[in-house]
Amino acid sequence: MIRKTILLFSCVALLTACHSPKENEKKAGETETTDLLPDKPTEVRAKPIKLEVFHYELVSNGTVSAQQKADLTFQSSEVVAHIYVKNGDRVAKGQKLASLDNFKLQNSLDQAKDNLERARLELQDVLIGQGYSIKNQESIPDDVMKMAKVKSNYDQSRISYELAEYNLKVSTLYAPFAGVVANLFTKENNKPDGTEPFCTIVDIQHPEVNFMVLENELALIHKGDAVLVSPFSASDYTSKGHILEINPVVDKNGMVKVRAILDNAQNKLYDGMNVRVRVQRATDKQLLLPKSALVLRNNRKVVFTAKGGLAQWVYVQTSLENSESYVVTEGLQEGDSVIYEGNINLAHEAPILVR
């Protein structure tokens, strides 16, 4: 009986040993198959590189200044009767800006005109007494005419009239050129502050930019070189221009002042605004690589190219660079499709989907 029981347990153990490895092998096979399934393709952006004109860049900080700027002030201290504009308004040349209450000014002009007429009659009487007629001034000797004007007070009356006429004329402010109104703070029915300009007109349609460069950078810039200007407050906006002049003096800090003029600021740059200036100089055509396409792996420059739905790992060498591009000297050829977005975590021959 005991021998039969031992034989039964031996058969069960043998059957278990025969079936278990197969089941384990099957599970292992399923896991291995799952591991070999391809990953989800990484979405990337790519574009073919080509030979393009390379712009060498010199970067500096500068300040915007209006090409034309005028502080306007009333010559008289009368009350401001009317103000026709406000800060930020664009005005044309000769446009009326503000005017004073001119009652006293008009009265002074009328009085000066009356005094001038009296002086002219008195001058005529003096000349007649000397045997001359005012109608034939060419025949009157200079010394006689001078004496007659002094006796009649003619010159003084004429000067007073011209001054009164001028004061009335300048009681209205006009724009001296097309521009934008700024620094207008006086209100109607108040006397303007004689110590400060009534307002300022600035031409910011084509503003200037003043910036500094190092003495050893002078060889890299020339009059007429292109400049790109971006305000720190809106770095996504860029205005184009060119260098207008280079001051031929090096200051005590080894800096040289450069002035550039912008083509069109589109009313987005203001007088006194701080900006970033990029001076560009065009060179021969080079094979240009977008800066975002280059990554560092093991302290080496790497670019991923898109080929057959896979990312290809390529070592490259670069030389010159600007804010947007590198010049490629080794590793790539014209027409290669380089991945410039979504390339940070790519691996060699990783599946990709170019958008």
Identify the three-state secondary structure at position 62: strand
The helix (H) or strand (E) run that includes residue 115 is helix 103-129
Confidence (pTM):
0.60
Helices H / strands E in the chain, number of each? 4, 21
Q: What is the pLDDT along the chain (355 residues), one digit of tens a residue?
A: 444 444 444 443 434 444 444 444 333 333 333 344 346 889 999 999 999 988 888 889 999 999 889 999 998 889 999 999 999 999 999 999 999 999 999 999 999 999 999 999 998 888 888 888 777 777 788 888 888 888 888 999 999 999 999 999 989 999 999 999 999 999 999 988 878 899 999 988 889 999 999 998 888 888 999 999 999 988 788 899 999 999 999 999 999 999 999 987 777 888 899 999 999 888 888 999 999 999 998 889 999 999 999 999 999 999 888 888 999 999 999 999 999 999 988 999 999 999 8
Strand pairing class (42-48; 352-354): parallel
pLDDT score, position 9: 44
- Cα dihedral sign for 90, 92, 93, 96? negative
Give the separation between CA 119 and CA 245, rounded to whole angstroms: 56
Residue whose C-alpha is closest to residue 287's, from 233, 332, 248, 350: 332
Any idea which fold 42-51+286-354 has?
Answer: 2.40.420
Return the CA Rg of the chain.
43
pLDDT score, position 36: 43
- Name the CATH superfamily, with its identifier, for domain 58-67+204-285: Efflux pump adaptor protein, beta barrel domain (2.40.30.170)
| Position 25, amino acid | E
Q: Is 70-202 a domain of CATH 2.40.50.100?
A: yes
At CA 31, angle to CA 27 and CA 33, rounded to 5?
115
pLDDT score, position 39: 64
Residues contacting residue 181 through CB under 8 Å, at least 6 positions apart: 85, 86, 87, 88, 89, 90, 91, 97, 199, 200, 201
